[in-house]
Amino acid sequence: MPPEDEFAKAVRERLPQIDQILADQNMRLGVRPLNAAIHFVEYWILDIKGGTKDEFWNQRWFAILFWHIRNWYKEFYGERLDSSKERLPGIVFINGTPFKLSIGATRSEVEEPGKSAWLVFPVGAHATETLDGWFESPPNLSVLARNDREALEAQVLQIIAATRGLNLDLMTAELSDDVLQVFRSSIVVHLENAVNAATRNSQESMSVAMWELHLMTEKSIKLVLKQRGACPNTHDLAELRALVDAIVDSSSIGEEFKNTLPKSQAIAFRYCDGGLVSADAFFKLYLSSLAIAAFYAEQLQRSMSVRNGRILLKKPPWLELPDA
């Protein structure tokens, strides 16, 4: 390998191009540094004097390469790199004002410091996770009356369990092709769109948020049908539910379906022609839509479930620079 300063320069000169390639692949920012290092090995390194590309992830030089790449990403993207870890969307209303929730998709628990850690796939909240910590920008919760705080905490815990469960069950569903996998991933995107729109709290954004919730619900039902065959091209949730009931008994969420939108009203909201939407009306639909989507995601066929699963991971060798 060339001297380290020369090597670092060669790496940094190529990183903008590599980063653009990864961005064009719709790769999340948080996973780009490692993928950029792999890309560099595969396409830019021709030979290594005194080393080999075999099992490069265990090689001393790869740790040095990753260190330079990680530093470039930190310098260029700053705090955005650390904030790009997978978070799931949520929302609550306090005094009619929307507050976004930021829900970690996974948790990490150190087993042996510097050597191993558990990757946890929780559904509910962990005892160490506090109410304040769920808010993207928390209000001063200490001023809430005790009963109001307890009610808020119950709402947040309900949202966390449904959102994490939805994400995990979608993630482990067995899907036959790339088209279905993209369709699956779009369900959480609609949830995120709804939360972001509702946070703006304007007439037009609340209307769009209602439509996004309808789409999330619609697609969660359609995915069950698509996994087993075909489904009709309709926005009618009652029609879709009736078709799926031949496969899955949905009577346990019958009350939630009473809060969903008829097709005509959903389409009216799509075009901002459905009238004013109050915080209470949105939140009622949000909780019901989330419960329905989570229910159908759990019904998807899968070979394994990771709900509340734990995987012990060894610290990757490329995260630690070798001794000089």
Query: What residue type is assigned to position 54 of the chain?
Result: D
Handedness of CA 218, 223, 224, 228 (dihedral sign): positive
Give dist(CA 309, CA 306) in Å, integer: 5
Query: How many CA atoms, within 13 angstroms, populate the side-chain half-sphere of residue 167?
Result: 24
- The pTM assigned to this predicted structure is 0.83
Q: Are 98 and 201 in contact (CB under 8 A)?
A: yes
Q: Are 131 and 141 in contact (CB under 8 A)?
A: yes
Q: What is the largest CA-CA distance in the chain?
A: 71
Token duo for residue 205: 């954004």
Handedness of CA 215, 217, 221, 224 (dihedral sign): positive
Query: What residue type is assigned to position 281 of the chain?
Result: A
pLDDT of residue 54: 82
pLDDT of residue 194: 98
Give dist(CA 209, CA 103) in Å, integer: 19
DSSP state string for 29-73: GGGHHHHHHHHHHHHT----TT--STTGGGSHHHHHHHHHHHHHH
Confidence of residue 323 (pLDDT cuts 50, 70, 90): low
pLDDT, tens only, 27-85: 888 889 989 999 999 899 888 877 778 888 788 888 889 899 999 999 999 988 876 56
Give dist(CA 114, CA 112) in Å, integer: 6
pLDDT, tens only, 266-297: 999 999 999 999 999 999 999 999 999 999 99
